[in-house]
């Protein structure tokens, strides 16, 4: 992918995150980006192609970010907290209609997103659980497969507007609450003591 196309996708992605997908026509996107539709169509075939390419770009970025977090945090709890903070930060900037729009109007992009998301989450959660058990920070009797599936189930629920309506809760609020629930359930006595000390420095109750 050349630099011009990558920059275009980044800008288009930011517009969708701010305004949603359905409400942004290709004409409106061209206006927001200050370019002609003719130029846009040199990068993508149509709006569905654009949404799919934005998904691929975003998920490639998330994979790199999680890899970097994993490499720079030897402690499993620090790693899990860093990943949780990264996810919560991203969720705060997402337009409430994004996932509904994608599921209803761009199902192929939605399927691509969920498949890649589920694979990335499963791999990172299982890896973190194994690391935490080896370090004595997580309970020895936890089952990595079951917990990773439970985590995936929550992510699916998070994006279900019927359960957590965006008029009442933000994605970030719900995720942050679940994450505290999740990390406390994993921690051994040693891990909980470490977690409480870390949270004191962040002035967050857990």
Into how many domains does the chain fold?
1
Read off the DSSP letter of residue 138: B
C-alpha 27/C-alpha 42 separation (Å) is 15
Tokens of residue 141, six digits? 């009797």
C-alpha 185/C-alpha 164 separation (Å) is 22
Cβ 120 vs Cβ 56: under 8 Å: no
- Give residue 10's domain range: 3-202
| Percentage with pLDDT > 70 across the chain | 96
Cβ 128 vs Cβ 80: under 8 Å: yes
pTM for this predicted structure: 0.84
- Going by pLDDT thresholds of 50, 70 and 90, the confidence category of residue 169 is confident
CATH number at residue 157: 1.10.357.10
Task: Please determine, for residue 99, whether its predicted confidence score (pLDDT) is greater than 80.
Answer: yes
């Amino acid at each position: 992918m050349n630099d011009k196309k990558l920059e275009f996708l980044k800008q288009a992605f930011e517009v969708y995150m701010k305004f949603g997908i359905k409400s942004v026509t290709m004409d409106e996107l061209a206006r927001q980006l200050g370019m002609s539709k003719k130029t846009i169509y040199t990068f993508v075939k149509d709006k569905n192609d654009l949404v799919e390419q934005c998904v691929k770009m975003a998920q490639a970025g998330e994979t790199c970010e999680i890899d970097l977090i994993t490499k720079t945090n030897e402690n499993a709890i620090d790693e899990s907290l860093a990943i949780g903070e990264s996810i919560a930060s991203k969720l705060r900037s997402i337009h409430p209609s994004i996932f509904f729009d994608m599921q209803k109007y761009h199902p192929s992009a939605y399927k691509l997103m969920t498949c890649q998301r589920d694979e990335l989450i499963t791999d990172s959660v299982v890896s973190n659980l194994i690391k935490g058990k080896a370090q004595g920070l997580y309970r020895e009797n936890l089952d990595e497969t079951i917990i990773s599936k439970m985590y995936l189930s929550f992510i699916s629920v998070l994006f279900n507007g019927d359960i957590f309506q965006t008029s009442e809760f933000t994605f970030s609020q719900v995720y942050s609450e679940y994450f505290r629930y999740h990390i406390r359930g994993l921690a051994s006595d040693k891990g909980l003591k470490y977690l409480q000390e870390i949270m004191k420095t962040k002035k967050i109750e857990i």
